[in-house]
Amino acid sequence: MIKRHKLWARDHNKNTQKAMALVLTFLSVLFISVSDSAVASTHASATNTDPLFRSTRAVAASPVSTFSHLSYRQQAKDLIEQLERQHLHKASFSSGFIERLEKRSLDTSAIKAFAIEQLAINQSDLRTNALMLHRFAGEPSPAPAFFNNLVASESDATVLITRFYQTLKISNAEYTTYMPSPMARSYPAYTTWLANYASSAEIATALLINYQSFGTRTERAAKALVKNYAFTNKDIAFLTYFSGIDNDFRQQVEQILATGLAKGESPNDIRTVVRLIQAYEDDFWQAFHAKH
């Protein structure tokens, strides 16, 4: 009897342990499920309220496209034209820095500061564009070719900005004692954020708009430097390098944007990214006018 009782007790303990293990397993699964739901809820809340976190991962909560009756390629064209009308009008290119260059009222220290900041952007953009290529190399054509061309173009710009920098005879002491401008560094900080978190459609559209405004400004600056500061055309080749967008670039952006819209990306998210990159570029140009 005692032996049987001990045997039963031993079996009972084993069964109890098994039951407890099952309960603990169930509670663990339940806890993970609840935790995941909470995280998902928090993420959904953040992506719906904070424009920085709206992306292709939150398209379900984005507004329905106002172009739904059109083909995706036509939607892309129309959206780009809207953005160009909004951000590429003449008033948007005003810059105290460029206007003072044109009046020859800007001293050389401001031009040197511009060159140092532009060199920093070039070095940042080269890494940023490489990251974009890494992220989107597996996407449908023409995304891989588009981002590969960005890397190649930035590599070419590296040679040109170096010549511009050397023309100004910026000494090592001037470079090491220069205090970077937060306004000037906001642009590369944002493009780095885009490279990590934005979609290919958001990035391509933003760059199409931004390169046009940047090119218009650098072309004005180049003409002023040649006319008023005795620079040669070779000296300012970096500035004229960005003037004009070829049709192939535009066609690639239209296709990348159309693919994004077809996947459900929100035009409003595209507009937000473009608005922000343009604002940060404005900060860049105003930085030198404000300091000098």
Judgement on whether residues 98 and 129 belong to the same structural domain of the protein: yes
Judgement on whether residues 13 and 140 belong to the same structural domain of the protein: no
What tokens does 135 get? 């992220």
How many beta carbons lie within 10 A of that of residue 44, not counting itself?
14
Judgement on whether residues 20 and 107 belong to the same structural domain of the protein: no
DSSP code of residue 65: P
Residue 140 lies in a domain: yes
Residues 172, 290, 222, CA angle at the centre, nearest 5°?
Answer: 65
How many separate domains does the chain show? 2
The model's pTM is 0.76
Please state, in angstroms and rounded to a whole number, the distance separating the CA atoms of residues 247 and 61: 34
What tokens does 290 get? 């404000």
Judgement on whether residues 139 and 210 belong to the same structural domain of the protein: yes
Residue found under tokens 């172009």 = 67
Residue 111 lies in a domain: yes
Q: Per-residue pLDDT for 37 more than 80?
A: no
Domain that holds residue 40: 2-49
147-182 pLDDT per residue, tens: 999 999 999 999 999 999 999 999 999 999 999 999
Out of 28-42, 105-119, 207-221, least confident range: 28-42
Residue 62 lies in a domain: no
The answer to whether 67 and 79 have CB atoms below 8 angstroms apart is yes
Judgement on whether residues 144 and 181 belong to the same structural domain of the protein: yes
The answer to whether 161 and 118 have CB atoms below 8 angstroms apart is yes
51-80 pLDDT per residue, tens: 443 443 333 333 344 455 579 999 999 999
Q: Per-residue pLDDT for 215 more than 90?
A: yes
Helical H segments across the chain, by residue range? 2-49, 72-87, 96-102, 108-136, 143-167, 172-177, 182-197, 200-229, 237-240, 247-262, 267-291
Q: Mean of the pLDDT values across residues 219-230?
A: 95
